[in-house]
Amino acid sequence: MEQRRETIVLPPRTDTWSLRRRLSAGRQIKELIARSWMMVVSVATCLLIVLIAAALYQRSQPLLAAFPLGELLSGTTWLPSRNQFGFAPFIIGSIAVTGVAMVAAVVPAILTGIYLSEYTSTRARGWLKPLLDLLVGIPSVVYGLWGILFVVPLVRDHIGPWSDRTLGQLSPIFVQTNRSGYGLLSAGFVLGIMVFPLIAAVTEEVLRSVPREMREAVVCLGATRWEATKCVVRRRGMAGIVAAVVLGFSRAYGETLAVMMLIGNTVTIPRSLFATAYSLPALIANNYGEMMSVPLYESALMGAALALLVVVLSFNIIARLVINRLTHRS
Binding to other proteins (CB under 8 A) within 270-329 occurs at: 281, 284-285, 288, 301-302, 305, 308-309, 312-313, 315-317, 320-321, 324, 328
Applying CB under 8 A, which part among 1-9, 125-133, 176-184, 233-241 lies near other proteins? 125-133
Applying CB under 8 A, which part among 1-9, 69-77, 114-122, 174-182 lies near other proteins? 114-122
CA 207 vs CA 1, 111, 113: distances in Å: 58, 12, 8
- Please give the size of the binding site for other proteins, defined by CB under 8 A: 84
Q: Which is nearer to other proteins, 57 or 164 (CB)?
A: 57
CA 137 vs CA 48, 131, 134, 198, 223: distances in Å: 26, 10, 5, 12, 39
Q: Which is nearer to other proteins, 210 or 311 (CB)?
A: 311
C-alpha triplet 185, 189, 193: angle, nearest 5°: 170
Measure the CA–CA gap between 35 and 40, rounded to whole angstroms. 9
Binding mask 157-196 for other proteins (x = CB under 8 A): ------------------------------------x--x
Binding mask 249-268 for other proteins (x = CB under 8 A): -xx-xxxxx---x-------
Binding mask 19-48 for other proteins (x = CB under 8 A): ----x---xx-xx--xx-xxx-xx--xx-x
Q: Which is nearer to other proteins, 135 or 267 (CB)?
A: 135
Q: Which is nearer to other proteins, 175 or 280 (CB)?
A: 280
**Which of 204, 198, 205, 202 is closest to 102 using CA atoms?**
198
247 binds other proteins (CB under 8 A): yes
Measure the CA–CA gap between 118 and 228, rounded to whole angstroms. 9
Q: Which is nearer to other proteins, 85 or 196 (CB)?
A: 196
Q: Which is nearer to other proteins, 57 or 161 (CB)?
A: 57
Task: Name residues contacting other proteins, limited to 64-103 (CB under 8 A).
Answer: none
Contact at 8 Å (CB) between 206 and 237? Answer: yes
* Min dist. Cβ of residue 287 to other proteins (A): 11
**Which of 90, 323, 321, 85 is closest to 209 using CA atoms?**
323
Q: Which is nearer to other proteins, 3 or 122 (CB)?
A: 122
Can you spell out the DSSP letters for 196-259? HHHHHHHHHHHHHTS-HHHHHHHHHTT--HHHHHHHHIIIIIHHHHHHHHHHHHHHHHH--HHH
Applying CB under 8 A, which part among 68-76, 110-118, 160-168, 172-180 lies near other proteins? 110-118
Applying CB under 8 A, which part among 54-62, 80-88, 203-211, 235-243 lies near other proteins? 54-62
Phi-psi region of 82 (alpha: psi -120 to 50; beta: other; left: phi over 0): alpha
330 binds other proteins (CB under 8 A): no
Task: Name residues contacting other proteins, limited to 200-229 (CB under 8 A).
Answer: 200, 224-227
141 binds other proteins (CB under 8 A): yes
Exposure of 147 in the CB half-sphere (CA atoms within 13 A)? 30
Residue count of the chain: 330
CA 132 vs CA 28, 89, 203, 215: distances in Å: 47, 33, 13, 26
Applying CB under 8 A, which part among 3-11, 83-91, 156-164, 245-253 lies near other proteins? 245-253
